Structure 1
Amino acid sequence: MSDSESIKKMLRSVLQSSKEGVNIQSLQFEYRSLCGENIPLRKLGFLNLEDYLRSIPSVVRLDYHNGELRCYAGVCSETAHIAQLVARQKSSKRSGCSQIVNCKMRRIASDPYMRQYGMLVTVEVTERSTLYDKTVVQRRLIQLLKKYCSGLWISKLPTVFSEMFKQQLPPQALNDLEKWTDVCMVEKSCSTKGDFLVYPPLPSSSAPQSSLSEGPSTSSLNSCPYPPVKSCAAILPADVCQRLKELLSKYTNGLWVHALPKLFLDAYKAPFPELFMDKLSLLPDLCTVEYPIPHDGKKAIIYAPMRVKLEGTASTHSQNTRSDQLPSGLEVTGPVVPACLVHPSMQYPSVLVTDAKSSNIVTIRYVGEDYSTAQEAMEDAMLSLYEQSTTVQPLSELAVGQLVAVKGENGNDLTRAQVIKVTNNIIKVYYLDHGFAAEIPLENLLPLHHDFLSLPFQATNVRLAGLEAFSSHPAVLSCLEKVAVGKILLMEILGSSTHPNDLPEVLLYDTSQDDDININSVCLKELQDKTMNNPLTVNSIYQGVCVTNICAEGIVFCQLPSRGTTRLSKLLEETEAFLFSQMTSEYLVSKPFNGKMCLTCYKDKWCRAEITNLHGNRVIEVVLIDLGVMATVEVTELREIPPLFLQDFALIPPQAIKCRLVDVTVPEGDWSLEIVSWLKNAVLGVDDCKMKHKEGILVYMYLFVAADHEDMHQSINHKLSDPELWQTLNGKKGCTATGSKDTDLTLIHVLNHSLITFPFCCIFQLGQNMDVYVPAACHPGYFVLQPWQDLHKLVVLMGQMMLYYNQTVTTTTGQIKKGDIYAAKIGKNWYRAVVKGILSNGLISIYELDHGKHELMRSSFLRPLIEEFRQLPFQAIIAQLAGKPTFCVPKCQWSEATSLVFRNHVEKQALVAQIENIQDESDVPEELWERKLTVYLVDTKVDDKDLWIHTLMGDMCSEPSSPT
């Protein structure tokens, strides 16, 4: 296909995705979003876009709408069949009336697995008849909720209703539930799950509605198998209720029920009544209990009631709306005030840092289409209007707080500003879109036309998380000026503020280096007193060395005697005594974030910890900075550093020194577990090791244990370089288990090699619509779906796997075989995976059963998948795109351009899938999880602008060719 024809097809795809057409000024941007490049006008022989578009009337139709030139897709015979397909959306393989699908996305509050996309897709299908007998449905719902008086997930309601009454629940009834307050209560889950809970209505003084009881079946359903819902005071003592509410208010994303007794004891120095642990689900006015892992009550999660959370959110929102101030610090004087700036929905927006008065007042501008791009377009429009107008005159009278338009020095630009100081002919203004102040001559000020007040002012203030106690420290301000001001960075918004005058709390990242740099952490490190460390000199001997950790990659962490270690030990003892004396939940970590400094217990002692990664809302990765130990903990195990000790802790640099042993090689693939265990037994816990610093920035050393440092043959280095030691240890390879948990490896081995039948991810029906997430996509003939509804369960499961496998060290038992299922460590996460093959170089080919990706890895990263982690069905569903016969042709060669466009539209996106066909089980080549669906995909991010992916691909793609 020629470049010209390819561009036409791409352009047609852009235009067909918009029902109202595309503004000609936005067309290049839309085309670039699809293809990654602009339309090459000069290459096509045109000087401007309009001339090119008018030359291809079969592709583009130009028309004026509301005074602007818009582009619409031209209609031709080539695309007529696609229009018919969109109109019908009916499979030729089944009978029945056509369905009109209205797809919309509903926002979710918080999901650790999907925070970047911030959308939940919900499909509503309007069928031939939406009428139903509401009285009958309400009567049956009352009976059903008598049985499920502790609540029922709304996603399970149709199935339970069908099983109980042998009749389908009308889809429209699900939309009407919230209106039937006398029949049920509907609450949204506090977890990352986009689901709702349905409860019986709260008890009232009025008599029960006996008139709604139905026929003979009523008598068998009147008795509730669970105790009736009671107030918390009737079950728990009042002080316990109050303290439990305090804990749940700290952990707004929920906490594990199994962690509640210890957390309660640590916070209030009193035991939680174990007698009431099984009754928490009966107290909807106190808490909500969820069971994300099937058949495992120990993994339940407890939340504050949704109504409490919603009340707090509404209160915070109203307060923040009232207290929103401009970065200039002044209120606007004038009849028209622009709307407040709305923060982007994306998790990591790009921002330009324009000023930093302190870490609590950092001025930024958002970079993006709805922000900086919109501002530039507005300023161009301002310049055009003011140049054409002959009536605009410089201002003669000014007042502090007045909004003005400011001409640039050369007169080629205009921008919005606010007067902040008036002295003679020199006026000081604050540029409200650019975030800085400057002195301007009076003649450069013009009245600001009200037409240019619709766009919110673009400069806004934020505060940096973790630096509140040092917001105006000279070292922090100097660091911000050096690493942040004037640079475009990525920003992470941690959440809405809880006080009316608080600014959004954020983290800033510099992504210009190989590794992302956390600006908040860099500023905090500037406070450290480097003189507290013991300076190292090459070829010097150091006694009293404490080896704190040994890593498989050959890194040894040591502590040397210094002022810092002495002061740190004393501070930790004082902090432990202080925390033990407090009866409060104040020091629980309720808002963890990357780079946060806090405390945690390690081997029954408090130590400093820096958060390095968050897995969901409850599983945290930390590094113990004074020991060099990486650990995975629950958020309930972290404590805030008390303000009394915060300044002292900030001064002490990390006391763990990163070292390597001289003359000891680390083989490819790191040291074996046996070598690491031998080395730990030799040096960990020894009171007085000696270290000889050899050279380099990374400390290369000789390590001695109770030996003469002059005799190198007595060093650990020499012993570890002995080949006989390696042969001896490698000969002992087998089942090894260390850590905080007991593991029956024999049972694991049996489980792993036994024939276990796993259920197919969901029970599907032809024509069914479901909300999905696409974790991986190759081309229209092969991509992977995950049911959105169960994503939260997968997040919880992966968090549990992180805790288990990072705290329990086991070697893989027996011989690895193709088809066996393991837990596989890829990066920092653990995944459920099946072995697809073993390569001749020893690498293992695995397939991620929940994410649908293929990986190569060493066998040392595989662990037995215990029965606890085999309960949740595998979440990856293999699929192919419906809508065109060639999409489903096996073994086709798709062009890279076609595959790239498809991936850009569907990969890592929340979409709607409509099932067209289900592969028969007899046609599945090997395992049940390889069963394939044929689906239509719909992107419903924009209201009234649904994009059917098959129309996009069917129009732009040529026939895929079979491999030669």
Structure 2
Amino acid sequence: MADKEQVIQALRATLISVKGALTIKQCNRDYRELQGEWIPFKKLGYSSLDKLFLDVPGFKVTQANGEWYVDAIASQETQHIAAMVSRQKSSKRAPKLSYPNRFPKKQGSWRKPSSGYASNYNSQYSNQYYRAKGSTPFNNNTQHYKTNKYNSSKSNETKLTANVKQTTKTVNDHVDKILKSSNSSQSLRESNNTHNEELKQQVQRSNNDMDVKVSTKVSASQRLSNLRDRLNTVDLIPLQLPAANNECLVGGSYSVSSYPDSSPSEDLAKEVGAVKLLSAIESSEAGGKPTSSSSNAIINLTELVSEHEAGLWAFTVPHLYREKYQENLPSNWQELVENCPKIIKDRLFNGQLVLLPNKEEMPIPPLETTIYDDSMDSDLPPLQFPDDDFWNVFVTVANSTLEIWLRIIGSQYSDTFENLLLEMAKYYEHAGSPVVKSMLIKNAWYAVNLDDGGWQRAKILEIEEDSATVFLGDHGDDDVVYINKIKILEPQFRKLPAQAILCRLEGAEELAASTLGAELVRRRLPGEVLVAAPGPRHDPTDPSVAVVLFDTSTQRDLNLNKEIIHDFCIAGAFTITQKPCEVEVGCVTEEGRVWVSRAGGAGLVQAALALLTAGPYRRPLPAAPQAPAPNATTLYIVRTLAGDWVRCTIISGLDGEGTVRTQLVDSGLILRAPLSSLVPLQSFSPALNAFPPQAVSVRLGPAERAAGGMVPRLRELLLGARVLCRALPAAGGAAAGGAPVAPHVELFVRTGPQNILASVNNAILMEYDYLQHGKLKENENNTTNHVEALHKKKERIFRSLSTAGEERTSSGSVLPPPPLPAPGKCFDVYIAMAANPWNFVVQPNSTRHTLQTMMSTLQTECPKLTELDAPVNPVSGELYTVYYDKDASWYRVTIAGTVSSEMVSVYFCDYGDLALFATKALRPVPPGAPLARSLPPQAIKARLYDVWPLHQDWTVEDCIRFQELCVEQQFVGICKDVGKDPLNPNEPLLTLDLIDTSTDEDIYINKQLVTEGRARLASTS
């Protein structure tokens, strides 16, 4: 049906043509036979069919034996039909039709009935004038008008022939009258203008074809049937003649006439006049008074009804309301009453409605209201794209390169859409069916009133308490609207497809993985009128269209896809200035070289590559290169052990095993990878190939001389931390050959419980100097302290006789040196930690049980100490304990150096780590742990015997592999040499040949590394 009024008129036509009331199910069945569909009550905003009949005036609804019965209340225009139907003789059975149902099924156009239908028609109609019922479909069946008291047995074919032209003219006149008639709520509303024009054209065409030869032997009814065939219409309602008019006069103030509405009898004409008179009186009373708002109306109605315990007739309510409140009720007051729990609606058998006050306590409705989740059959038709290679478009929304919404400009698209908005604004300003929360259906289309956009078509996405999240199908964006601003989307507004088209920028999809790309798109595209070149759609399940956008407003057409990529690359350039900026440290090489990148830069590239290598926007990977590119700056992508794709360059030639060394341009790490695993980036993603490298090598200024010797400390401070970086004033310059040198910078990190911002450069330089010169200074400072020297001497000589009472808790003590093996002797060890084959820490396996006993004692005794026991001025080399929160354990530490008056650098003497702690975090060795004062340090630095890296330094893979082989494992070590640690000459350094004896065949770790191609033997070089 076209709209709600046509549905109501079709229902009235169905019910008036039947003698007696029908059940709602029977009415629904007959409607389907007539119209080809069930009664669309849900589209009209009703949750059930009975609520439709109860709400719409003009229907009489009763309930008997658990069934709802419905009948149409005849209006002045349908009284003659109702009277005719009521006089039908029920005892006389009509001849059986050839149709299997009560009504013929809906057809696209009228078809000539069968012979049985023609004979039945002869018994119904004679030479009367006819007029079309404006709101009834033209293919309605008229078989139920079985008798007509106005049939004239004296009618003949001559009279019919003489009146044929007059008949067609009368049809045309009455159509015009009906279309102009809208005086009362019971009258027919305005019909579809297009339908009316088609009927007029059909009638006029029939006037031109009236010179047909009529045989004198053909009956009048047969000739009328032929005329109906020519007019191509069926639903002609007999206009009863002679017609009667009536004029009413009341008190000299009101005078009305039933004219131009003709009636078949004087009584019916009086009734028509009375209805018009009542309408005139009511309208005169309503004039000049304001109309109540919906909220005030429902409050006042509740009060008005509560004053009448016996109830009020519904038709008296408007008059009583005006007298009491001096306001008019809104036009939808009956709908407000229907939803008011404080008013009971009682419909009597005669169809009259009585309003009663509800004095019972209404149950509080549950918070969760039943919400239908159904796409219905009301989805808008799909949009048909133009066949052109280029579209003129208007960009409505641009959230990223993967989500761009646009509308096509053209007469069939934007022009039609603008007309639709005008029609919606005009219609919903005074009409439309509002909805309540329980009526809303997810994924269904409605009309919503936006504060800044007027009435728009929208699909319900989510439903909240008093609002709903909707998708504006003609714009592409989401919005939140209040439920009281939502109305039923009428059928005439559902014909046009949703105009917003989801698109993505072809060749720039990877930019959607970053906020930078999204910002560029949002700044450049919304509100622009552009030309779009759509690409082929390879995936039918993908709703988006790949497009290339062009700006043709300038002399040179701009490819906006390339322009956005160009802006993206410019914005991604990373430079270091004297203004502090946040950076990420990608790696610290063994030489102490630090690589920094812009915060989030490496993650941006990694996320973009993840988008292109997995998911719906995955691109095929190009073939690997046959040989390294001659250009050293050629970019590739390679997959790491963690499964992430990263950008890299090749920094070495191809070795005998088909592998090359690569450097990751966004972190600085060096990896060895098979050449066959590299993917050329230029052919895979031109956008990421043009994106600048994010990693920059930097130098630490004056601290550069200490960086090579403080690599573990640098990694501890910088890797995984939030780092601030600023260029030093003397940074910059170029090498002698013109190549740029690494800039000198100062790095800052936040350390300690107070989150203090500390200079990494100063800390490294200070710790390095303390490690180099701390022992000498300590000896000089302690030469005059004879009492302390004597005590230490006694402790070394008489250690076995010392007791717990002799231990000092006021200051730290010095541990005895660890026992070291002689060269050539076996030394069973446990690897506590390892950086690479030249830098690892071992613990003597013979004293591991003693170490574990001491550690257990520390966990019990150290918590008994408080911050008051912390040393005031700790000195390098002194022994203390400290709580390490990362593994929630207490450890022995020695002071490695003083960073500030409140911060010290400590060395975990049993495990080989360095860390920074606040001075107040230190605790003396507890008296209850004497073993902690006597057990020598268990951490001994060592290096692997007879191995060298294949190249200048150990690669990251080599270091990881060595850690996998050795850390937390026991070995038999053969001591080859006992030397001094180059970073701290006071510490020993063992050169060990590690042997794994846990298998049937002994495994030499140095030879294992050589076998795996990670090292070479120094003895054979």
* Higher normalized contact order (CA 8 Å, seq sep 6+, divided by chain length): 1
TM-score (norm: length of structure 2): 0.22
Larger radius of gyration: 2
